[in-house]
Amino acid sequence: MDFNVEYDVIVVGGGNAALCAAISAANEQARVLLLERSPEDERGGNTAYTEGLMRFAYNGPDDILALSPDLSEDEKNSDFGVYTEDDFFNDMARVTENRTDPDLCEILVRQSNPTMRWLKEQGLRFLPQFGRQSFKVDGRHKFWGGATLAVSGGGRGMVDHLFRIAARKGVDIVYDAWARELISSDAGVHGVVAQVAGETTSIRARSVILACGGFEANTEWRTKYLGPGWDLAKVRGSRYNTGDGLEMALRIGAQPCGNWSGCHAVSWERYAGDFGDFSTTDDYERDSYPFSIMVNGEGKRFLDEGADIRNYTYAKYGHIVMKQPGQFAWQIFDSSVTHLLRPEYRARRVTKVAADTIEELAAKMGDVNVSQLVETIRAFNAAVKRDVQFNPAIRDGRGTTGLTVPKSNWAIPLENAPFEAYAVTCGITFTFGGLKITTEGQVMDRNNRPMPGLYTAGEMVGGLFYFNYPGSTGLTSGSVFGRLAGRSAAQASRRQSTAA
């Protein structure tokens, strides 16, 4: 490929945010180059490792059917509920402890539905997540937690489709292209220096969009910013998200922003590999814990498994598992709820033990204090509010009384054999620290001034998420801010061209 020409926009990255940025810029008639660090068979960043779920505001079934029109009559009869903009705002405020940037949060929420429609217009298909985001209540699927639709084909399907759309719109795509440095001057950013197939190359552009992820795959940075012990975390997604885009931008004066000591981290298969693997990643998440009790190696419970619906706790509970002795825990289930476990619990790659007694179960677990575990379960069983009806589709109020560590909902006594236990550790998804941006997606410098020619999107946007995260907001954020950055960068490039 001839890199001697000047592009209007260079996009660094190859996941959802980068691709939405490239497509959005191309829709503005910009000449766009996309640089993907990975080889083609590993393309897609963290997006490729997701289920493709997207949180967005909707006012009822008509909004769902507009995005997913090909459902059967039985599927259309589902209880999709509503998830209003106010619901979305409230969830963002609540889970981030009111720290989310109000301007960025407003863009995310207000543009969530229009961006879903835009993605559909580009050619993506959406389907309700019947198997993971709903339970059957009185024979009818009832959705919960605000995350109803997923991209057909999951994360990899989304990536493949967006790459096809980008190519069709004339975006030049280069793999094995590792961006290392921004070309900049007092007048702004004018391109990137990249290693393309191992050869260092300078590529000029009027604008650059950094959308190449956080630093979760960088062991050194995890320990530096997240703290001791985080070098031992498993990385759920791409091995290529090592913070290069952040480093390049910070080096020329970009302003860091957001929760740099925070991240999205979940309960993950204890013996998973160090990085995501397309052949195994779908098997490794362990998110049915609200119906379990979780114990550490000392045989003690250490968190409220039923504090809220999974979508509002799973991204912070990995942190708590990381803090346990040995960085592991066990999820223990009574046989009365094992039919509710998500599909990955029945996968081949799972560390599981089962037994007819708690003593036998503890012995099989091997690294748990048996006597303490027996006492923990005895006390838990005695504390369950048995007069409250269990309902997996809502916060049912079936909790415990008198325990130091309560369980607020879905408390099921461990009384019905066989019992099952699953070993988990911490799996990190993405980091929350990023760059400060304007409401047009432009990066700001440490003097709080927009940096000409530099934009960002996706996990590199700082200020949205703190401490926790409403499930399935990441892809939505990537699409919303990718679309915004692409349009802004293309329009700025056009103004430069006109002025010249």
pLDDT tens column, 230-252: 999 999 999 999 999 999 999 99
pLDDT for 279 equals: 83
State pLDDT tens for residues 96-128.
Answer: 999 999 999 999 999 999 999 999 999 999 999
Of residues 247, 170, 172, 209, the one with CA closest to residue 482: 209
pLDDT for 181 equals: 98
pLDDT for 286 equals: 96
What angle do helix axes 473-499 and 102-110 make, rounded to 10 degrees? Answer: 100
pLDDT band at 218 (very low <50, low <70, confident <90, very high): very high
Q: Is pLDDT of 215 > 80? A: yes
Q: Is pLDDT of 195 > 70? A: yes
pLDDT for 500 equals: 63
pLDDT for 498 equals: 79
Mean local confidence (pLDDT), 287-311: 97
Q: Is pLDDT of 307 > 70? A: yes
Mean local confidence (pLDDT), 421-448: 98
User: Contact at 8 Å (CB) between 247 and 12?
Assistant: no
Of residues 289, 325, 300, 265, the one with CA closest to residue 471: 265
pLDDT band at 142 (very low <50, low <70, confident <90, very high): confident
State pLDDT tens for residues 359-417.
Answer: 999 999 999 999 999 999 999 999 999 999 999 989 999 999 999 999 999 999 999 99
Give Cβ neighbours of residue 142 (< 8 Å, ≥ 6 apart): 78, 79, 81, 134, 135, 136, 393
Q: Which amino acid is at 156?
A: R
pLDDT band at 497 (very low <50, low <70, confident <90, very high): confident
Model's pTM, two decimal places?
Answer: 0.95
DSSP structural state of residue 387: T
Q: Is pLDDT of 311 > 70? A: yes
Q: Which amino acid is at 108?
A: L
pLDDT for 5 equals: 83
pLDDT band at 327 (very low <50, low <70, confident <90, very high): very high
Round the average pLDDT of the chain to a whole number and report it.
96
